[in-house]
Amino acid sequence: MNDLEFLEKLLAIPSPSGGEDIFAEYLIAQMRKMGFVAHRDEAGNVVGTVGNPAAENHVVLLGHMDTVPGFIPVRWEGDTLYGRGAVDAKGPLTAFVLAAAQVAPKLTNARVTVIGAVEEESHGWGSQYLAQTMAAPSCAIIGEPSAWDCITLGYKGRLLMEYSLTQPGGHSAGEFVGPAEHAVTFWNSVRRYAGAYNQEALAQGRKGRFYTLDPALRDLHTYSDGLNDYVEMTIVARLPPGFGMADLLEKMDLWAHEAKLTFRGSDPAYQSEKNTPPVRALLRAIRAEGGKPAFKLKTGTSDMNTVGPVWECPMVAYGPGDSSLDHTPHEHIDAAEFRRGVAVLARALETLGGG
């Protein structure tokens, strides 16, 4: 089985968040055939290691096995492979496995651990477990699509909140203000707050979406049981670096009035430095493959937001694929893009491993 056949097989195994078991079993079996010492940890993450198990120099390649829901028929169209996870993030995870296996014989003074985490697309349980239990490695690369010739240095943070309100029913012809209107008023207050914050950020010279506060209304649902009226609303806010949430949380509590606010998760933004061993190794590798490397700052979140502040080691995100295709119904990856990503990672690992 060649590299592209391996990727195609992994895409063909559905692994939505919480349903990674079959995928994990197959991945472990293949990793063991490639020379990895592989197992699943207590969180369900797949953990495979090559190289010198006693080496202090420890490079971690952290990808994730899960995908968002939605079946995309796995197929080739010319040199393009379609399938859910082709870029987010089975493509990068597969590239990690292939690159680590390729350089394994040269890792006499280093060890490389490839991890396929669970539930990155939902609760982030896999990376949370690693942050709690795994000792900080020498450096880490997070498996997310950056394009084969680009390196991602940071991700915005995220705040996930649910708003719910129940009121006795009333006639729309009266002066009754229903739950839906209260929810809209709350949402507009959040939007105005973000607008004011972003104007101030721009005035201070922080340009670009990486430095803006971006709330998004993900769901608004109203219903009635004949006696009471209900509204439920989900808001996701993307947080810029250095954003202090205390003021926003205090104001949202005031804007909510009688509504209930439930916060489902919060991750601060994370940005790594440019002049670190993994950055230098990837820059060198991209140039060696004929590319002109560039840096990216992402407006989403990743496992970097979870493990970065805890491990405090040199860290970047890298992986083949076009991130604009994340979560879309036409997710795909080009064969040449994928193979270049594997080649870049192999060169970088050889450098990081002291070869």
Active-site entry in 8, 20, 66, 119: 66
Q: What is the pLDDT of residue 237?
A: 97
66 catalytic, yes or no? Answer: yes
Domain final residue, candidates 234, 249, 267: 267
232 catalytic, yes or no? Answer: no
Same domain assignment for residues 115 and 12: yes
- Is the pLDDT at 171 greater than 70, yes or no? no
Q: What is the pLDDT of residue 264?
A: 85
Same domain assignment for residues 218 and 97: no
- Domains in the chain: how many in total? 2
Read off the pLDDT of each residue in 332-347 and give the average, rounded to a whole number: 98
Give the pLDDT band (50/70/90) at residue 265.
confident
Active-site entry in 119, 120, 149, 326: 120
Same domain assignment for residues 138 and 50: yes
Q: What is the pLDDT of residue 320?
A: 98
pLDDT in tens, 70-124: 999 999 999 999 999 999 999 999 999 999 999 999 998 999 999 999 999 988 9
Q: What are phi and psi of 328, to 5 degrees?
A: -90, 160
CATH number of the domain to which 250 belongs: 3.30.70.360
Q: What is the pLDDT of residue 1?
A: 78
Q: Which domain holds residue 119?
A: 3-155+270-352
Give the pLDDT band (50/70/90) at residue 175.
low
Statement: the pTM of the whole predicted model exceeds 0.75: yes
Same domain assignment for residues 308 and 249: no
* Percentage of residues of the chain with pLDDT beyond 90: 94
Same domain assignment for residues 107 and 53: yes
